[in-house]
DNA sequence: GTCGTGTGTATCGCAGTGTGATACAAAGTT
DNA sequence: AACTTTGTATCACACTGCGATACACACGAC
């Protein structure tokens, strides 16, 4: 699975930091400490490891040994990393959850969407998700899990590339075209499965279709044997702020039954959230 | 709601930093940046505000104006805060979710518990939670929500004081006594409702009972009209690593029906997780 | 309109903090 | 036991973050 953090390796560190700051005050140490935390996410996807040794942190964060140690120890004393005294390896600390809560408590959209999503999940006993765009990724912010799904797909915070996933497509489709183009341009259009579209013209045609229909079904674009349905949550001005996403797994859901059942459910759920959203304003 | 971060106000900043570092390398700027992020959590509970102005951040984080601005801007460029260009106020950024994912992906206990909790939630259509101890709080790490519940009680990452909640009591009960005592000593034994026990002797008696019975039911200790059930998830050595928590809300659940239905469900669910845990080792 | 007051923003010399090369210690490997 | 690899400790220097200060801007009040 590709990831944006691919490009924050060693040589780009300084560049990345300097990129957006444009004269704004900036504390380099803070950026470095987050490089360390990000290293763990990369470690999970690239090395399939939950805990990291100091030298692994070095490689994954792009910091030298001294810096890696300083920041790792700092994060340990703050509780955001834990250190096994035996193996001397670091792992993510439970205090990291605090930030999820901090963000979600103040997230009006999630608050409105949650009960509606829960109801929707009961119709066919399926997973139902809420996705939002961040940079070139769609991030799952609310997930109503079902027991059958795999653990990784139950967790909020998962990022998937916007361009090749149903929720991403549907959000990009209901956005000012210039912005959508910018996202596509910044995206790493890599082929994930053999069915992944990577041609910008084709992608834009797909988005246009999604805009007309008001939903999108992605067939094995980012995952084999997975048909994903997504419908946009719209603000009053018609701009998408999120997407309702309902995955249909292969043995149980084929393309036809997805169109017959999951599509109307996703569209209806998204519309109900959109309505509650405008009412609440 | 009381919170550990109560004591990280202005005068204690240096003290807190120095407290645990004991010669370990420590980068002060990193600590300060997290003070800023914590400020938002305090702002939510104390001021009921989702976004904060610069001077509010000053007060809540204990930093001076210059520092608050430097770190806030830094966090904005890193994506962990967002800034409204109009109001010039800051709010938590969506990138904060990443850390939740980072922690949870590597969290074996949650991975094992998730499907078991989902099943349990379907028995009586109730919320089912997994709680873990962090300092003097019980943190909800996994929550299976039901539509009826309030938004705040659906979110993972919520912290509640351990001493006066069912999950906290049950975890403390199944711990080496010295450690449990240390937690109680460090706790801010404040009366939350008129039914809250605050006397250490009584609390310890309660814990002893919980240890004997293998579960605990807290009756309106931390919330009125709320009867909470909790059972411990145990390691092979008998030590609690978490608690299964099932709240029963008043109109629907009285003490009797809780004991009859929710207690066995919680105990059974916790035991199943404990079993899967030892198998996986 | 003109003050006030409370904010947010920009500036800048100095002190102090983070830096990273180096050297040391302690595990794992052969 | 010799080697390699990884983690820890040390320390003088330079640069970075510091925070007092001054400036700009928005809102009231009247």
Instruction: Please give the domain boundaries of chain B with CATH numbers for all domains.
Output: 13-97 (1.10.10.10), 107-280 (3.30.450.40)
Residue A178's pLDDT band (boundaries 50, 70, 90)?
very high
Q: Which of residues 103-132 of A touch B (CB under 8 A)?
A: 103-106, 108, 110-111, 114-115, 118-119, 132
Question: pLDDT tens track of chain B, all 281 residues?
Answer: 333 333 333 333 333 434 445 567 899 999 999 999 999 999 998 888 889 999 999 999 999 999 999 999 999 999 999 999 889 999 999 999 999 999 999 999 999 999 999 999 999 999 999 999 999 999 999 999 988 888 988 999 999 999 999 999 999 999 999 999 999 999 998 877 777 888 899 999 999 999 999 999 987 666 667 889 999 999 999 999 999 999 998 778 888 899 999 999 999 999 999 999 988 76
Q: How far apart are the first and last CA of chain A?
A: 38
Residue B17, H or E segment: helix B13-21
Distance CA B38, CA B18 (A): 18
Chain A contact for B56 (CB, 8 A cutoff): no
Q: What is the token pair recorded at B86?
A: 């109009």
Chain A contact for B5 (CB, 8 A cutoff): no
Distance CA B203, CA B197 (A): 7
Work out the minimum CA distance from B219 to partner chain A, whole angstroms. Answer: 26
Nearest CB to A97: which of B51, B93, B100?
Answer: B100
Using only C-alpha atoms, chain B has a radius of gyration, in whole angstroms, of 20
Mean model confidence pLDDT for chain A? 88
pLDDT by residue (tens digit) across A127-165? 999 999 999 999 999 999 988 888 988 999 999 999 999
Cβ of A65 near strand C (distance < 7 A): yes
In angstroms, how far is C14 C1' from A26 CA? 19
Chain A contact for B98 (CB, 8 A cutoff): yes
Please give the pLDDT value at position B279: 85
Chain A contact for B75 (CB, 8 A cutoff): yes
In angstroms, how far is C24 C1' from B241 CA? 39
Beta bridge partners of A160: A138
What does each C-alpha distance from B153 to A225, B106, B126, B175, B254 come to in angstroms?
Answer: 35, 24, 12, 26, 20
* Angle, CA B28 vertex, CA B25 and CA B34 arms, to 5°: 115
Residue A280, H or E segment: none
Q: What is the token pair recorded at B160?
A: 């509640």
Residue A131 buriedness (CB in 10 A; 0-12 / 13-18 / 19+): buried
Mutation choice for A interface testing from B13, B74, B241 by most A CBs within 10 A: B74
pLDDT by residue (tens digit) across A21-73? 556 889 999 999 999 999 999 999 888 888 999 999 999 999 999 999 999 99
Protein-contacted positions of strand C (CB under 7 Å): 6-11, 17-22, 28
Q: Is the dihedral of CA A56, A57, A60, A62 positive or negative?
A: negative
């Amino acid at each position: 699975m590709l990831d944006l953090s691919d490009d924050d390796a060693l040589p780009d560190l300084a560049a990345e930091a300097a990129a957006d700051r444009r004269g704004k005050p900036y504390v380099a140490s803070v950026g470095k400490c987050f490089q360390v935390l990000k290293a763990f996410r990369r470690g999970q996807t690239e090395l399939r490891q939950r805990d990291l040794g100091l030298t692994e942190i070095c490689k994954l964060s792009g910091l030298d040994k001294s810096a890696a140690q300083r920041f790792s120890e700092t994060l340990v004393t703050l509780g955001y990393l834990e250190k096994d005294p035996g193996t001397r390896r670091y792992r993510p600390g439970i205090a990291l959850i605090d930030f999820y809560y901090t963000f979600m408590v103040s997230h009006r959209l999630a608050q409105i969407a949650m009960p509606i999503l829960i109801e929707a999940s009961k119709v066919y006993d399926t997973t139902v998700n809420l996705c939002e765009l961040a940079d070139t990724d769609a991030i799952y912010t609310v997930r109503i899990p079902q027991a059958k799904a795999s653990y990784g797909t139950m967790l909020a915070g998962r990022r998937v590339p916007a361009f090749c996933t149903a929720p991403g497509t549907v959000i990009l489709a209901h956005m000012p075209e210039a912005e959508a183009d910018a996202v596509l341009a910044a995206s790493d259009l890599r082929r994930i499965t053999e069915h992944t579209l990577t041609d910008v013209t084709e992608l834009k045609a797909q988005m246009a279709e999604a805009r007309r229909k008001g939903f999108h079904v992605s067939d094995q674009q980012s995952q084999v044997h997975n048909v994903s349905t997504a419908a946009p949550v719209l603000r009053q001005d018609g701009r998408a702020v999120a997407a309702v996403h309902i995955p249909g797994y292969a043995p149980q859901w084929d393309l036809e039954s997805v169109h017959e059942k999951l599509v109307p459910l996703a569209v209806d759920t998204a519309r109900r959230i959109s309505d509650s959203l405008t009412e609440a304003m």
